[in-house]
Chain A
Amino acid sequence: MGFLSPWFLAGLAALGIPIFVHLLRRHVVTPRPVSSLMFFERGTQSSTRHRRLRYILLFALRFCLLLLIVLAFANPFLRLKANDTHGGLLLIILDHSFSMRSGTRFLDAKQQALKLLASRPRSQRAQVLALGGQVEALTEATQDEELLRSALQGIQPGDGRGSFGDVGRTIRALAEKESGPIDLHLFSDLQKTAMPANFADVVLPPQARLMLHDAAKTSASPNWTVESVTAPAELTDPKNATTSRVQAVVAGFATPETEKTVSLIINGKVAARHEVKVPEKGRAMVEFAPLDIGYGFNRCEVRIDGDDALSADNASLFVVRRSDPQKVLFIHRSSDERSAVYFEAALNAASHGAFVLQSITTEQVANLDPEKFAFTVISDVTSLPSVFEHALEQYLAKGGSVLMALGLDAGRQARIPLWSGELQKSRNVSFAEEASTVSQVDFTYPGLEQISPGRDNGGWATAKFFYAVRVDPSHARVAARLSDGTPLLLEKQIGEGRLLLFASGFENLTNDLPLHPIFVAFIDRMSRYLSGSEQLSGARIVDSFVQLRTATNPSGRVTSSEIVDPDGHRPLSLLEAQRAQTFRLSRAGFYQIHFANGRNAVIGMNPDRRESDLELMTPEVQALWTGNNTGQPETEKKTAQGAKYQYRGLWWYVMLLALIVALVETSLSSRYLGTQREEL
């Protein structure tokens, strides 16, 4: 037994208080004069003994109370001999992140893990976890060695990015259920980039003892990688020099200055090759233009020739889809010519010919089939022929996209076509008054996405809105709001499709948005989002998710989705193909995806390039993680460090005892005082 805060034992001096009050003070009684002792006798009655006994009991209780409080503050602990280390849980975490593909790291780590598993006592429970894009528990805590071994054997090198923050979170969650000690063995290359920015994320629970097994051996191996590729996901005119080009950034980690040959490979054939000088631990850009590709999906990669520490990251995959310009249906009132002009100008400026606007009035739409268009724009039209409105509803249910703008005409109508919600009221601000501006913009919304929006609210703050229709935003996602809280851009899922509502017009009467540069960017992103072309090709980071369908039970017939992974396997079961809403793309390579709305996509998946930096975490950080996983009381640290002993804190029990003693003391002393009152 010991004390974690022994300096609190100085509080034992307080024990002098009851001793003084009960023992010493009683003897220092000032004699009281009386006229005569004729009628007095010495107190020798039996009640005196009871009283004295009660005094002694009260004294003992008060003494104990103070003693227990001091002891509780001194934080006593009991050092128990650990039954054996077998009583604890052996946790084996094998890192199979992308960087483990470097050299023999993964094999070495797996061998070490298997060796540890073989050397553990039979009676000790163990659990196997895999660290990749996420931490996966491959087994329950078990003593079954075969199960554990097979789980370890089954782990294969992955393409995900490992994060030790995930390890910390997982172990903390596990420790809530596991009361005993946890021996945590992490077999990893201990990449520096795997450490989270906040060290608190990796702090382990007190009963966990971490052992790091470095599989990297060498500290920093030179490694080059194609860090990023900028290429159009969709291309309509290969000869257009503005869009038909690929820009790649080659980065070196712990590398000397060298010349590298970078190739552009399209559909397995080398289309172009460039020499580039990569500075020491630096970056260099390579550009390939024009991009000569055929119609359909073109599987492209930018590859660095030669070998290095991690050859798997020498190529970056992406898909470029070549198609004819897509038609966009723009419906407007015959009296409204401005909106079509502004919209078309912006669309042409942004898409470089990827879209062709077909502008028609409401009187001409009766026999049109909206499914022939990439998406439909309805500008300030509140009354559509019922046949066409029905066709639009069918179009939406199957996965079509409609963008609706509400101009001056919408305020005079009671309902909006396709939009189930009712109009609340229009907001009309005269020119004399101060116009509204866009105050809130959801930059994570795909149609408004900006990585680092400027201080002017991403360019939106300068646009003035004089008129906006206030729409009930229930059941809709509000992507932007005006300064008075009026929802400006709303999206509602209808079947597999999406209906977007812009609460103002596209002309320059209701607002001056078309006159601002942000309008072009807005139309660009919106058109790509509505057409869905961005989802159908391009490149993504491993462990990204794709949305296969918008609703679990879409209206109409149930359509299935399908995925073919880079190895040509179909990872979705039949049931999942009909019900799964999202899918995690966990492998590097080309995925073929058939969405529930009938569209097909081919996407190139690349590992996170932070995995390419093979620099190890410093020994100081390792020591801090393994040895000083503190922020915890001393007792808990000892629990983690002491393998042979288990330290059990006793303060809680001491405090409980102190509480009981306090209650008894209160009861006894109140009875004593009560007796005194009666006597008086």
Chain B
Amino acid sequence: MQRFLDPTLLASISSLDLIAKTVVDGLVAGLHRSPDFGFSQEFAEYRAYVQGDDLRHIDWNLFARTERCYLRRYEGETNSQLMILLDSSNSMQYGSRKPVKADYARYLAASLFYLAIRNQRDAAGIIVFDDEVREYVPPSTRQGQLARLFAALEQAEPRARTDFSKPLAHFQALLHRRGIVIVISDFYEDPEEIVRAMEVLRFRGNDVVLFHVLDPQEIRPELKEPAILVDLESGQKIEVIPEYVTSTYRTKMQAHLEHLQMRTRSAGLEYYLLPTDQPLDMILREYLSLRRAGR
């Protein structure tokens, strides 16, 4: 099964639906837990009775044994809301191998949608942005929501450049209900700027997860001879030499990643670096397990 989840193989599948199905079906089924405790069928813990508690929740068997009143607490099973903010700037169309970052991000988003809607009955929505909000599908559990989300993903062609500050106002306006906010981007921005933009969402009670999608060549680039490099977003060209790429660039990139990770963690954001050669299911499993462990 694993080999079908290789990003390179997924790139050869044209249908996002199929991709998402392939990824999610390969994943161990699991539910994310609600941050609220409820009184459903899944036991969570005992709590001592205090005045005003509903007597229906007292465990009388325990009272009989201990002559003390305890209330049974259960895991609250609620429907969560998944919102994915997908970066569709020009820089996302870079890729030294298949899939390119934009495709990888789409596969990832599609898999998450499939997981959320089909498996967990969660409401899911998407905001596609670059320096503006390009596409918005509000979260919903209605029939055909998954198709709408996939259509939005299909239409998310890279253009313009990334800017987190401008779409931020729109994010706040569009995200009414708290839930899980997943930001998928290559984050070519100052970490401070990124965190400043995202922690606002966090303050509103959202679980913010940053998926940092990068091509392996961006992390450890190789250059055999001096070359002219073109910025996909700005169109700027500069000549660089192999020595720089193999030494200083790597150092700078590593520092950037560490800085970004440190700042996001300190701001209470989840951060995951996703090289495009990493299988998707593994990322999802890791993410879900981390979510479960985190609660």
Asked if B230 contacts A34 (CB within 8 A), the reply is yes
Q: Which of B101, B229, B242 contacts A40 (CB 8 A)?
A: B229
Complex CA–CA separation, A43 to B215 (angstroms): 23
Q: Chain B contacts of A45 at CB under 8 A?
A: 241, 243-244
Asked if A37 contacts B246 (CB within 8 A), the reply is no
Query: Which of the four size classes fits the interface of chain A?
Result: 20 to 34
Asked if A43 contacts B241 (CB within 8 A), the reply is yes
Asked if B228 contacts A41 (CB within 8 A), the reply is no
CB-CB under 8 A for A35 and B243, given A40-B238, A41-B248: no
Q: Chain A contacts of B240 at CB under 8 A?
A: 40-43
**A679 at interface (Cβ–Cβ under 8 A)?**
yes
Complex CA–CA separation, A31 to B227 (angstroms): 7
- Residues of A contacting B: mostly: loop
**A13 at interface (Cβ–Cβ under 8 A)?**
no
Complex CA–CA separation, A544 to B147 (angstroms): 121
Q: Which of A34, A35, A51 contacts B241 (CB 8 A)?
A: A51
- Residues of B contacting A: mostly: mixed
Closest to A26 in B: B226
Q: Chain B contacts of A37 at CB under 8 A?
A: 229, 231, 234, 236, 238
Q: Which of B94, B222, B239, B242 contacts A35 (CB 8 A)?
A: B94
Asked if A31 contacts B91 (CB within 8 A), the reply is no
Shortest CB distance B239–A (Å): 6
Shortest CB distance B22–A (Å): 27
Closest to B222 in A: A680
Shortest CB distance B229–A (Å): 5
**A38 at interface (Cβ–Cβ under 8 A)?**
yes
Asked if B228 contacts A29 (CB within 8 A), the reply is yes
Asked if B215 contacts A35 (CB within 8 A), the reply is yes
Interface positions of A from 36 to 54, Cβ below 8 Å from B: 36-43, 45, 47-48, 51
Asked if B94 contacts A34 (CB within 8 A), the reply is yes
Once A and B bind, how many residue pairs between them come within 8 Å at the CB atom?
88
Asked if A32 contacts B227 (CB within 8 A), the reply is yes
Q: Chain A contacts of B287 at CB under 8 A?
A: none
Q: Chain B contacts of A667 at CB under 8 A?
A: none
**B130 at interface (Cβ–Cβ under 8 A)?**
no
Complex CA–CA separation, A41 to B226 (angstroms): 12
**A33 at interface (Cβ–Cβ under 8 A)?**
yes
Asked if A29 contacts B188 (CB within 8 A), the reply is no
Closest to B188 in A: A36
Interface positions of B from 215 to 239, Cβ below 8 Å from A: 215, 218, 222, 224, 226-234, 236-239
Shortest CB distance A84–B (Å): 60
Complex CA–CA separation, A41 to B218 (angstroms): 15
Q: Which of A31, A32, A40, A680 contacts B249 (CB 8 A)?
A: A40
Complex CA–CA separation, A43 to B223 (angstroms): 13
**B118 at interface (Cβ–Cβ under 8 A)?**
no
Closest to A46 in B: B243
Complex CA–CA separation, A47 to B231 (angstroms): 25
Q: Chain B contacts of A179 at CB under 8 A?
A: none
Complex CA–CA separation, A34 to B186 (angstroms): 12
**A83 at interface (Cβ–Cβ under 8 A)?**
no
Complex CA–CA separation, A41 to B228 (angstroms): 11
Interface positions of B from 9 to 56, Cβ below 8 Å from A: none
Complex CA–CA separation, A676 to B223 (angstroms): 10
Asked if A39 contacts B249 (CB within 8 A), the reply is yes
Q: Chain A contacts of B222 at CB under 8 A?
A: 680
Q: Chain B contacts of A48 at CB under 8 A?
A: 226, 241, 243
CB-CB under 8 A for A33 and B94, given A40-B229, A43-B240, A45-B241: yes
Interface positions of B from 158 to 190, Cβ below 8 Å from A: 186, 188
Asked if B186 contacts A35 (CB within 8 A), the reply is yes
Q: Chain B contacts of A51 at CB under 8 A?
A: 241, 243
Shortest CB distance B95–A (Å): 9
Closest to B161 in A: A36
Asked if B230 contacts A31 (CB within 8 A), the reply is yes
Closest to B162 in A: A36
Q: Chain A contacts of B224 at CB under 8 A?
A: 676, 680
CB-CB under 8 A for A39 and B256, given A32-B230, A34-B232: yes
Q: Chain B contacts of A39 at CB under 8 A?
A: 249, 252-253, 256
Q: Chain A contacts of B218 at CB under 8 A?
A: 34-35
CB-CB under 8 A for A36 and B232, given A41-B248, A43-B239, A51-B241: yes
Complex CA–CA separation, A34 to B227 (angstroms): 11
Asked if B244 contacts A35 (CB within 8 A), the reply is no
Interface centre among A31, A33, A35, A680 (most CB of B within 10 A): A35
CB-CB under 8 A for A35 and B91, given A41-B238, A45-B244: yes
Q: Which of A31, A35, A47 contacts B237 (CB 8 A)?
A: A31
Closest to A676 in B: B224
Interface centre among B186, B244, B252, B253 (most CB of A within 10 A): B244
Q: Chain A contacts of B188 at CB under 8 A?
A: 35-36, 38
Complex CA–CA separation, A48 to B256 (angstroms): 26
Q: Chain B contacts of A47 at CB under 8 A?
A: 241, 243
Interface string of A370-395 (1 = CB under 8 A from B): 00000000000000000000000000
Complex CA–CA separation, A272 to B210 (angstroms): 141
Q: Chain B contacts of A32 at CB under 8 A?
A: 227-230
CB-CB under 8 A for A36 and B249, given A41-B238, A48-B243: no
Interface string of B254-288 (1 = CB under 8 A from A): 00100000000000000000000000000000000
Shortest CB distance A472–B (Å): 79
Asked if A679 contacts B229 (CB within 8 A), the reply is no
Q: Chain A contacts of B242 at CB under 8 A?
A: 679
Asked if A31 contacts B94 (CB within 8 A), the reply is no
Shortest CB distance B216–A (Å): 12
Interface string of A37-77 (1 = CB under 8 A from B): 11111110101100100000000000000000000000000
Shortest CB distance A253–B (Å): 85
Q: Chain A contacts of B256 at CB under 8 A?
A: 38-39
Complex CA–CA separation, A36 to B234 (angstroms): 8
Shortest CB distance B72–A (Å): 53
Provide 20 A-B residue pairs closer than 8 Å at the C-beta atoms, listed in order of the A residue: A26-B226, A30-B228, A31-B228, A31-B237, A32-B227, A32-B228, A33-B94, A34-B232, A35-B92, A35-B188, A36-B91, A36-B186, A37-B229, A39-B249, A40-B245, A42-B238, A45-B241, A45-B244, A679-B246, A680-B224
Give the B-binding residues of A (Cβ under 8 A). 26, 29-43, 45, 47-48, 51, 676, 679-680
Q: Lowest 3 CB-CB distances: which A-B pairs, in order?
A: A43-B241, A35-B91, A36-B188
